[in-house]
Amino acid sequence: MHSTDLHPFANSGRTKLSLVSRGVALPEGLPESSRWIAQANATESVIDIRLSSGHLCTVPVGQPYTERSTYKLLSDDEGFYLDCAGESERVELVETPAFYRKKTRSGARMGNISSLHDRLLMLYPTMGCGFFAIPGAACQYCQYDSMLNEDEPPMRDPLELVEVVRAALAERAIDTVYLYNGFSPAPDVGLSRLLPVIALLRRHLPHQQIALETVAPHDLKIIDELYDAGLDIFVCNLEVADTARFAATCPGKASHGGQSRIWEALRHARSVFRPGTVVSHLIVGLEPLQSTIAGMKELVHAGVVPLLIPFRPLPGTPLKDQPLPSLDDVEQALLSHSELVISSALPTHRLRDMGRVLTPMESRVLDGIEPSLQQRFVISSVGRKIEGWFDSLRRHVLLSYKQQGHLEHTQHAGKRQPASSLLMRQSVPFVLMALIVVTAYSLLKLPAPAGLTEAGWHSLLVFGVCLVLWVSQLLPLSVTSLLGMALLPLVGAMSSADVYALFGNTAVFFILGAFILAAGIMKSGLSEHVALAVFKRFNASSRKLLLSMLLLPALMACFMPEHAVAAVLLPIVWSIVQGLGLKPGNRYAAAIFLAMAWGAVIGGVMTLLGGARGPLAMAIVGEMTGKGFSFVDWTLAAAPMVIGMLLVAVVILLKLVPHDGIDMQGASLRIEKRQLELGHMDVRGKAMSVLMLVTMMAWIFLGDRFGLATIALVAVVAMFALRIVGWKEIQSHIDWGVVLMYGGAIAIATSLQKTGAAEWVATSFWPDGVAGVAILILIALFTMLLTEGISNSAAVAIMLPIAIPMGTLSGIDPITTALAVGIVSGFAFMLPMGTPPNAMVYGTGYVRLGDMIRFGSILLFSTLVLFALTAYFWWPLWGFAV
């Protein structure tokens, strides 16, 4: 049924369609016209009329075609009303915003750079469109040349736009901010200039929509960046579906990529933005109706929401004499549009508060379809805010995945993951955390098992929570330890004073001192000078270079943490590999990186300086039993395994990896170049070498008398007193997280021991018929498997509180158990997450996971065999009872 067959006000959608298409006549003028009439552009004036149904209509006035409209706006003592063919309806006129008359920081009138209609604020960040600077390139219907017309139209100050937004918000609730971007000849059509504008607006509009209408860019990456900056709705207009009509109507767009570029931009945007937020305008009346409908179908099929704009001839444009489309055609187009959108299930509620067009939801009213309850909710104030918050969450998830490299990987593989799947994946940690909390609270309310005190039961629950969090890494290791410290007094397992006193354990300060000294070795240049000198001496052949890559990091890891060794050597090793001309996939290159990682891992077990696991084991056994071991004890216990594992690694590298045909000249040139850049070791490096030598001697000969922590802290003070390094130089190289982890791990272990929980677990799960070396091997095997997936220190914190009482039940000295767990926890070879050196070399792209697992499994088996031999034959010789 057509519009002429009905009462002119019988259907609110049809009434709005007539008004926005034909305008309204003002036969009697308009009282206080400046109060109601606003400038839509240089020559077109509009008024905002709200119908009795609530629909907002932004209606053209003052044009030749509007004076011929059948709708007339009149007024009487009761207000304003519309008259059409003798029928009338009361309407409300919306006053022009008061902020239009305000000025920005630069003196610009706010009404000249913005337009507010109901809750839709339009902003014009660029001062013109570059098409108007090219003769004959401007769109034939457009009047955007009312501003500056330059190849690269200037941008407004982003702070001015924020001033306008804040002024508008102070006057009226805003739902959508709509930006226009004119053409620029750059590959991104000037969109990169809008990124800071959108990011700034997003900070002021937490849940409101930000939309952008733009010419299609050649560089599609800018569309991703727009979304990341905070854009919600991407609008790129096809304008006319017919190719020939498009070229005639939009000559500038046709010559800069044409319709194909618009389609590329829309399809790419559809893969980035949420469903229903990629939009394209089609102008009804510039081509045959069937062509417009065909264009709508193609847009909907591509997942793009078409928005129909009735053509209006504007004065001063080439199409000023083009006749208006018939209302029947416009109505038929909108009815077809409604059917297409409903059948496609495309969300359309994001396009709202648009007074100059019938939004997709409003076009349904033409056919008598009222919005559903769900549709009413999503456009309500509450629904809009929820959607805005969900948009922020989705953007946060996608950005975090991009920063982690996940999205780039899937995009290169041609697979774009839907944001819904990413949101579900991102929500998993929160669900698991909630499950842990509920489970722990439920268990806390249960009575303690037989043979276990209430304090012991609560200590065990805290340990269980931390165990799950350490293994799953839902929280950083250090944060989990802090949580353990907080929970122990909360559940009544230990007093607050006892818990936090354990943070002052000597092992905490020993590892802190060791980290600071290691940072001093790096920042003084000592480590790099030593590394380059060794590599230069052993780069004569591929075999010698490979051996030096293994043995040098092993030696260095005796004096500094393994991760610091890897951090120092990785750039040098990478440079050598590049100097040799080796590409990813080359087995010799992979062997070089693996040798560096293995050397750092194996050598780090030799002394207590190689990592945090040794001092942590020393602290836990000390708090649980009152016993301890010295720097020398650890080294004596670990030496056979370290030497044996280095020999196994040598065999693997020399026998299983091809190393012939390598031109060593490139490596020599890279090493010499770096040595020339560094020059001779300065006084800082020499002083650091002397200080470390003295410190090592003190640990060996005076450690039992004064304590390892005391010597470490004295050495740290001496390092700063001698001005070898400054505090700002080294503070970023200290792993404060490990230091924090110590306090929690020691406190949890102590609570398990003092409450009897550790002994209860050991008794309950102690395997019958297993004792002596066999129980140690079993403990070692579990520790080795655990440390492949989590950090060495976390493995010690998990295993040792249970392993000590389990070993005691088998007649094994707690010191022996502590050494066993502490030493084998350092041998992680199979997976990247096992230890930092593994992760670093895997991240280079030269080492394949398959190689790491294959060679790592050989090393893992060798570790277990060497441990059994060492524990059975070597340790009893030095008093470590088994």
Residue 735: band (very low, low, confident or very high) from pLDDT cuts 50, 70, 90: confident
Alpha helices in 355-473 (DSSP H): 360-363, 373-378, 381-403, 406-412, 419-444, 454-472
Q: Which two tokens stand for residue 878?
A: 């030095």
- Residue 823: the pLDDT is 96
DSSP notation for 449-472: PTT--HHHHHHHHHHHHHHHHHHH
Are 806 and 616 in contact by the 8 Å Cβ rule? The answer is no
Listed residue (478, 435, 467) closest to 782, CA to CA: 467
Relative orientation angle of helices 542-556 and 562-579, to the nearest 10 degrees? 160
What does the H/E/C string look like for 270-308? HHHCCCCCEEEEEEECCCCHHHHHHHHHHHHHCCCEEEE
Strand stretches in 153-217, DSSP E: 176-180, 209-213
User: What percentage of the chain has pLDDT greater than the value 70?
Assistant: 90
- Residue 458: the pLDDT is 95
Residue 5: band (very low, low, confident or very high) from pLDDT cuts 50, 70, 90: very low
d(CA 815, CA 497): 27
Residue 650: band (very low, low, confident or very high) from pLDDT cuts 50, 70, 90: very high
- Residue 147: the pLDDT is 44
d(CA 768, CA 870): 24
Q: What are phi and psi of 81, to 5 degrees?
A: -150, 155
d(CA 843, CA 166): 46
421-447 pLDDT per residue, tens: 555 666 778 888 999 999 999 999 999
Tell me how far the alpha carbon of residue 29 is from its chain's centroid: 57
d(CA 51, CA 15): 9
Q: For the whole model, what pTM was predicted?
A: 0.61
Homologous superfamily (CATH) of 98-379 is: Aldolase class I (3.20.20.70)
DSSP 552: H
DSSP 351: S
Contact residues for 624 (Cβ-Cβ < 8 A; gap 6+): 749, 750, 752, 753, 758, 801, 804, 814
Residue 629 has, within 13 A of its CA and on its CB side, a CA count of 30
Higher pLDDT, 453 or 147: 453
Higher pLDDT, 296 or 154: 296
Q: Which two tokens stand for residue 560?
A: 């500094």
d(CA 102, CA 654): 79
How far CA 542 is from CA of 554, 599, 657, 665, in Å, comes to 19, 17, 11, 11
DSSP notation for 236-277: ---B-SSHHHHHHH-HHHHHTTHHHHHHHHHHHHHHHSPTT-
Tell me how far the alpha carbon of residue 867 is from its chain's centroid: 42
Are 91 and 81 in contact by the 8 Å Cβ rule? The answer is yes
Listed residue (75, 81, 68, 79) closest to 25, CA to CA: 68
- Residue 1: the pLDDT is 37
d(CA 345, CA 724): 69
Query: Residue type at 495?
Result: S
Which helix (H) or strand (E) covers residue 535, if one does? Answer: helix 526-537
- Residue 152: the pLDDT is 67
d(CA 378, CA 792): 50
d(CA 23, CA 46): 9
Which helix (H) or strand (E) covers residue 741, if one does? Answer: helix 736-754
Render the burial of 373-404: b for 16+ CB within 10 Å, e for the rest: eebeebbeeeebeebbeebeebbebbeebeee
Which helix (H) or strand (E) covers residue 481, if one does? Answer: helix 477-490
**Range 462-477 average pLDDT:** 86
Render the burial of 108-117: b for 16+ CB within 10 Å, e for the rest: bebbebbbbb
How far CA 32 is from CA of 47, 96, 524, in Å, comes to 12, 11, 79
**Range 482-503 average pLDDT:** 91
Tell me how long the chain is.
882
**Range 851-878 average pLDDT:** 93
- Residue 325: the pLDDT is 87
Q: Which two tokens stand for residue 333?
A: 């187009």
Are 118 and 174 in contact by the 8 Å Cβ rule? The answer is no
* Averaged pLDDT score across all residues of the chain: 84
Q: Which two tokens stand for residue 86?
A: 């003798």
DSSP 371: P
**Range 179-189 average pLDDT:** 84
Are 276 and 305 in contact by the 8 Å Cβ rule? The answer is yes
Is residue 40 over pLDDT 70?
no
Is residue 398 over pLDDT 70?
no
Is residue 807 over pLDDT 80?
yes
In the beta sheet, which residues pair with residue 47? 37, 59
d(CA 125, CA 144): 13
DSSP notation for 673-717: HHHHHH-S--HHHHHHHHHHHHHHHHHHHHHHHH-HHHHHHHHHH
Residue 89: helix, strand or coil by DSSP?
strand
Higher pLDDT, 426 or 469: 469
Contact residues for 262 (Cβ-Cβ < 8 A; gap 6+): 216, 236, 237, 238, 253, 280
Domain parsing of the chain, residue ranges: 3-94, 98-379, 500-878
112-133 pLDDT per residue, tens: 888 898 889 999 888 777 777 6
Q: Which two tokens stand for residue 528?
A: 């790099």
Residue 408: band (very low, low, confident or very high) from pLDDT cuts 50, 70, 90: very low
- Residue 409: the pLDDT is 40
539-596 pLDDT per residue, tens: 767 888 889 889 999 998 998 888 888 877 887 888 788 777 788 888 888 998 999 9
602-612 pLDDT per residue, tens: 999 999 988 88
How far CA 488 is from CA of 439, 450, 463, 494, 505, in Å, comes to 17, 21, 9, 6, 17
DSSP 107: S
Q: Which two tokens stand for residue 658?
A: 């091809």
Are 423 and 397 in contact by the 8 Å Cβ rule? The answer is yes
- Residue 189: the pLDDT is 86
Contact residues for 503 (Cβ-Cβ < 8 A; gap 6+): 485, 742, 743, 746, 747
- Residue 649: the pLDDT is 95
- Residue 288 CB neighbour total at 10 angstroms: 12
- Residue 693 CB neighbour total at 10 angstroms: 11
d(CA 54, CA 48): 12
Is residue 353 over pLDDT 80?
no
Residue 604: helix, strand or coil by DSSP?
coil
Q: Which two tokens stand for residue 651?
A: 């065999």
